[in-house]
A and B are shown apart, each in its own frame.
Chain A
Amino acid sequence: MKLDGSYTIPAPREVVWQQLMNPETLAKSLPGCERMQPNPDGSYQAELKVGIGAVKGSYQARIEILNPVSPERYRMKVEGKGAGGFVNGEGLLTLTENGSAQTLITYSGEAQVGGVVASVGQRLLQAAARQIVSQFFQAFAKQVQAVAFPPPSTDPLIPSSPR
């Protein structure tokens, strides 16, 4: 199954890149991520509870970032396994500056899905995958905005902007 698309994040490219490389931000953005830990080889181990509608399952995933070219692109490899089946995917993410305050993330890749989920849900896979990817980017955009534009301090002793 081919997966491609793009998403615009309202933040400068450097900031977006840093956050894409930040495991904490990724953990907060991955749909249903319950735990994410680094492996000794530099990859990550994640526990995801992914679901569409009533179909929900727990997956153990290994996420690996390959050939990073800061702040432009990297390849991402995901191997996931759970009771519903397995997912193996690899794709290229490219970050393009869209003016100074926006970054366009383009992704294109290929995923293999197998097991019960694939055998009974084939007709829904593409749309379900798109939904999960868009959930990720929406959550990621929120995380990035929180970093790029932190809310003004509410402490009256520290003015949020110089007067």
Chain B
Amino acid sequence: MIPQSFEYHAPRTVAEASSLLARLGSDGKILAGGHSLVPMMKLRLAAPKHIVDIGRIAELAHIREEDGTIQIGALATHFNIESSPLLKDRCPLLVETAREIGDVQVRNRGTIGGSLAHADPAADWPAAILALGGEILAVSARGERRIPARDFFLDVMTSALEFDEILTAIRVPALPARGGDAYLKLHHPASGFAVVGVAARVLLNAQGAVQEAAVGITGVAPKAYRATGVEAALRGKSPSARHIEAAASHAADGIEVNSDLYASADYRRHLAAIYTRRALERAAERAAAS
């Protein structure tokens, strides 16, 4: 339970951190909240030569709204998000997702940026950020990049970030009028990770039909994904129980479904449809009540 020795760096600014990372190349590893990386280091499954601790970079810990877009700094903890009055009012999906993560200790220390960069296929944030059509900001010595959420997750624990890039912030649109959203999850009983997690946002038009539905699913495949088959099936329909159920049956269409000792691929596929239906129902109810 003692990690291999490593060099420790604690830059105070993003510029300082990015020049460090440019120098260290693939030997450098960013430490944020440390709730994924440190356990792996203690088990010696990860043994980075250099740790770049971004925890002291004050500019990365913000949550704010600019012109209808919510921006969350990479260092915002799950608890910061869960307890943010701004997000409760303007982007409740993030609050609901944060509540479902891990346990109190993890939520107090773990960060949204760290979780996204880690790209665990059963983490909760990827589902929410995908459903919201968010953007991920990445900074390196070469400049800033905005990566659409749907291009960010590449494979198991593999994101679009380069070695020398720091995930600095996440941008998502605030909840619009006649919109509603929801995050529902089946927790793995031991790890707390999502066996299946579904984030949904539904926008209704003036007639009460679905103008746009967006569904992000985690835990089911090697990477979180947008259930585009579900979204297309619901577009233009009334959000009735029958329409939602029919659309939700497409939750794992064309997806290579994970299996492990706890849940077989068939069981996960089944759960994906059930949780998608429930998340859409709740999101549509909230949209209608807004």
Residues of A within 8 A of B (CB): 52-57, 83-84, 116-117, 120-128, 130-131
Contact = CB atoms under 8 A, between A and B. Distances in A.
Interface string B240-267: 0000000000000000101111100000
Interface in B192-214: 193
Interface stretch (B40-48, B99-107, B137-145, B177-185): B40-48
Interface string B149-170: 0000001111000000000000
B222 A120 contact: no
A123 B188 contact: yes
B29 interface: yes
A123 B158 contact: no
Contact of A116 (B43, B48, B121, B259): B43
Q: Interface majority SS on A: helix, strand, loop or mixed?
A: helix
A131 B222 contact: yes
B171 to A, nearest CB: 24
Given A53-B118, A54-B29, A56-B46, A123 B156 contact: no
A123 B193 contact: yes
A159 to B, nearest CB: 41
B119 interface: yes
Contacts of A120: 39, 43, 45
Contacts of B221: 127
A140 to B, nearest CB: 18
A52 to B, nearest CB: 5
Contacts of A116: 43-45
Contacts of B47: 56
Given A53-B118, A53-B119, A126 B258 contact: yes
Interface in B111-125: 118-122
A130 B256 contact: yes
Contacts of B44: 83-84, 116
B5 interface: no
A55 B222 contact: no
B45 A124 contact: no
